Amino acid sequence: MNKLYLALFLIVCSPLIVADTLFITLEKDNALAVVDGVTGKLLKTVPLGQRPRGIAFSKDQSLLYVAASDDDTI
């Protein structure tokens, strides 16, 4: 299932966009995938609340916020 989400994400993204690290919410797995942006290799999976959806970095990019919609948590 994780490979499917990664494939869909990479298809949607422009090939001109390069990031060292990708953060992808896995809504049905209630987790966040951390992926190497160069190799596409899954670095780790972080368990989250129910149905994670929105992702946002803090202004200084030191924190990553993930909204879990079914838990009403961030």
Q: What is the 3-state secondary structure (H, E, C) of 12-69?
A: HCCCCCCCCEEEEEECCCCEEEEEECCCCCEEEEEECCCCEEEEEECCCCCCEEEEEC
- Do the domain assignments include residue 45? yes
Residue type, 40: G
- Do the domain assignments include residue 28? yes
Question: Whole-model pTM above 0.85?
Answer: no
Q: How far apart are CA 48 and CA 26, in angstroms?
A: 9
pLDDT of 48 reads: 92
3-state secondary structure 43-58: EEEEECCCCEEEEEEC
User: Residue 14 above 50 pLDDT?
Assistant: no
- Do the domain assignments include residue 48? yes
Structural domain of residue 26, as residue ranges?
2-12+19-68
> What domain count does the chain have?
1
% of the chain exceeding 90 in pLDDT: 35
pLDDT of 36 reads: 92
Identify which has the larger pLDDT, 16 or 49: 49
Average pLDDT over residues 32-40: 90
pLDDT of 38 reads: 86
pLDDT of 54 reads: 85
